[in-house]
Amino acid sequence: MSQKNYDFGLVGLGVMGRNFILNVADNNFSAFGHDLDEEKVNSLIQEGGDTSRVYASTDAKTFVNALSSPRKIMLLVPAGKVVDIVIEGLLPMLDKGDIIIDGGNSFYTDTDRREAYLKEKGIHFFGSGVSGGAKGARKGPSIMPGGDREAYKEVKPIFEAVSAKFKGEPCVAYLGNKSAGNYVKMVHNGIEYGMMQLTSEIYDLLKKAGGLSNEELHNVYTEWNNGRLQSFLVQITSEIFAQKDDKTDGMLVDKILDKAKQKGTGKWTSQNAMDLGIPVPTIDIAVSMREISALKEERIQADALYGRPTPAPIDKNELIKMAEEALYFAFINAYAQGLAQLTDASKEYNYELDLSVIAKIWRAGCIIRAELLEDISKAYVANKDLKNLLLSPLFVDKVQSTVPSARALVSYAAKSGIPVPGLSNSLTYFDAYTSSRLPLNLIQAQRDHFGSHTYERIDMEGIFHTEWE
């Protein structure tokens, strides 16, 4: 290695990091990697081929000295203390004006803390969400940077080159102040949790009530992916049903244990929404269902104790039609909830988010990419102050035409003992949000009755309390 002016540095050469740095090199920027694992370093050098374009080292000093000024260093390491440890290790070797980018799923308050800390030392720092998994990192992810605007300008040409493209437009944009990038990625992941839960519930209904084989499920999801449900998650679901098991006979999906793990971003979305007072019930229940799935032994015991109704006979084609409409309805609600959270968070944390731009950079590369996002972006272009997607004229007909199937399917599932909490929570959210009158007047009366918490009236201004008999 003779070159001393590599354009871009990356710490953390796991699958995501290695693929991202190779993507950078493919787009005519030289890149230098760093990892303490010598095997990962050698693997990158070998795969990169041209050492003037891609190189790596286990030595931090060699890594830092190889980068052109201002140094642009991206971290793709596990969120939490590891990020702070890496930063502290690099700091003594950096110069004022150098840039550190956290590309992991860091909690947004950690990003704010790190930005303030490094600013005092003359180092630029910003968080940047990266979505698309390992394949996305290699071929083009959706990238969500926020924070130091001037620092982002230095990295912008690289990020625009490596990002996914939708009709030629890069799926990356500066999103806003402070931890905006990490926050948007967190909510992206929350929406992802909801959409994955909804997709799995529809699969369960089609299999248990409709008796669809894996081949039929593959064909149904493939057809859906060619229509208005076109999305990455529907696409890969169709592919999953066609995957044979390489260890035994049969299809792989039937051999996978029904215990879903999680890394925490969905939970963070749900917790923060509660802090902000924003309802995201589809995301909430998606997190809870992963927790319920972990109780496998208890579920087996409970299943033996309680009877379950036999699903009533239903026409297979009618079920498939209702399922498509219900899933479309629920997807809209999942996006609506997440985007409403972003709208409120933008005001609360002074992010200055543009929801139309966020929807645009989600159209390709990321896990929740879908045809719907084109219309979602248009909805926020038409009204930048739109408080909820359900209030957009562009979505009224879409929802009105599909909500009857959601109602019918939730009812059928309940009578059949098939759990569809994501779908039912989406329907409940819709019904509550579109109700001008809710029974919460009774709750306020109860609170005042037992705790003198007061209430407001519909017929006069003021705060009231009653001495209840």
For residues 29 and 23, give the distance between their C-alpha atoms in angstroms, rounded to a whole number.
9
* CATH number, domain with residue 59: 3.40.50.720
Distance from the first to the final alpha carbon of the chain = 86
Nearest to 57 by CA among 90, 13, 111: 13
**In the chain, how many H helices and how many E strands?**
20, 9
Do residues 207 and 311 touch, judged by C-beta distance below 8 A? Answer: no
Q: Mean per-residue pLDDT for 87-95?
A: 94
pLDDT tens readout for residues 23-45: 999 999 999 999 999 999 999 99
For residues 61 and 39, give the distance between their C-alpha atoms in angstroms, rounded to a whole number.
19
Does residue 335 share a domain with residue 213?
Answer: yes
Domain count, the chain: 3
Q: Which of 185, 207, 267, 360 is catalytic?
A: 185
Does residue 459 share a domain with residue 428?
Answer: no
Mean pLDDT of the chain: 94
Which segments of 350-371 does DSSP mark as H helices, in order? Answer: 355-361
Percent of the residues in the chain that have a pLDDT greater than 90, as a whole number: 91
pTM for the model stands at 0.94
Does residue 445 share a domain with residue 371?
Answer: no
Q: Which of 72, 115, 192, 267 is catalytic?
A: 192
Annotated binding residues, written as ranges, equal 105, 131-133, 188-189, 193, 263, 290, 447, 453
Nearest to 106 by CA among 130, 124, 80, 131: 80
Residue with tokens 């909690």: 107
Assign 95 to helix, strand or coil: coil
Annotated binding residues for substrate, written as ranges, equal 105, 131-133, 188-189, 193, 263, 290, 447, 453
Residues with Cβ < 8 Å from 164, sequence gap 6 or more? 132, 136, 139, 140, 141, 142, 170, 171, 364, 365, 366
For residues 261 and 201, give the distance between their C-alpha atoms in angstroms, rounded to a whole number.
17
| 298 tagged catalytic | no
Do you find a cis peptide bond into 70, omega within 30 degrees of 0?
yes
Nearest to 366 by CA among 54, 136, 196: 136
Q: Does 150 reside within a domain?
A: yes
Does residue 392 share a domain with residue 261?
Answer: yes
Does residue 284 share a domain with residue 420?
Answer: yes
For residues 469 and 465, give the distance between their C-alpha atoms in angstroms, rounded to a whole number.
13
Do residues 81 and 108 touch, judged by C-beta distance below 8 A? Answer: no
Nearest to 206 by CA among 219, 193, 196: 219
pLDDT tens readout for residues 189-225: 999 999 999 999 999 999 999 999 999 999 999 999 9
Q: Does 3 reside within a domain?
A: no
pLDDT tens readout for residues 345-378: 999 999 999 999 999 999 999 999 999 999 999 9
Q: Sorting pLDDT into bands at 50, 70 and 90, what band is 3?
A: low
Nearest to 93 by CA among 34, 163, 157, 175: 34
Question: Tell me, what's the pLDDT at 79?
Answer: 86
Q: Does 180 reside within a domain?
A: no
Do residues 12 and 75 touch, judged by C-beta distance below 8 A? Answer: yes
* CATH number, domain with residue 464: 1.20.5.320
Does residue 354 share a domain with residue 216?
Answer: yes
For residues 136 and 384, give the distance between their C-alpha atoms in angstroms, rounded to a whole number.
29
Do residues 3 and 55 touch, judged by C-beta distance below 8 A? Answer: yes
Do residues 77 and 35 touch, judged by C-beta distance below 8 A? Answer: no
Domain termination site, one of 126, 149, 174: 174
Does residue 364 share a domain with residue 449?
Answer: no
Does residue 200 share a domain with residue 169?
Answer: no
Does residue 446 share a domain with residue 385?
Answer: no
Q: Say how many CA atoms lie within 13 Å of 255 toward its Cβ.
A: 10
Does residue 194 share a domain with residue 51?
Answer: no
pLDDT tens readout for residues 384-441: 999 999 999 999 999 999 999 999 999 999 999 999 999 999 999 999 999 999 999 9
Residue 372 identity (one-letter amino acid): L
Range of the domain at 377: 185-434
For residues 40 and 267, give the distance between their C-alpha atoms in angstroms, rounded to a whole number.
31
Does residue 392 share a domain with residue 355?
Answer: yes
Q: Token pair for residue 139?
A: 């071929």
Assign 189 to helix, strand or coil: helix
CA distances from 334 to 48, 372, 429 (A): 40, 12, 10
Q: Token pair for residue 255?
A: 């051999």
pLDDT at 1 over 80: no
Question: Tell me, what's the pLDDT at 148?
Answer: 87
Nearest to 106 by CA among 148, 73, 78: 78
Please count the other Cβ atoms lying within 10 Å of the Cβ belonging to residue 24. Answer: 26
Assign 165 to helix, strand or coil: strand
Angle made by CA atoms 307, 309, 313, in degrees to the nearest 5: 160
* CATH number, domain with residue 420: 1.10.1040.10
For residues 454 and 445, give the distance between their C-alpha atoms in angstroms, rounded to a whole number.
8
Assign 81 to helix, strand or coil: helix
| 192 tagged catalytic | yes
Q: Does 106 reside within a domain?
A: yes
DSSP notation for 119-154: HHTT-EEEEEEEESHHHHHHH--EEEEEE-HHHHHH
Does residue 200 share a domain with residue 82?
Answer: no
For residues 369 and 371, give the distance between their C-alpha atoms in angstroms, rounded to a whole number.
7
pLDDT tens readout for residues 224-266: 999 999 999 999 999 999 999 999 999 999 999 998 877 778 8
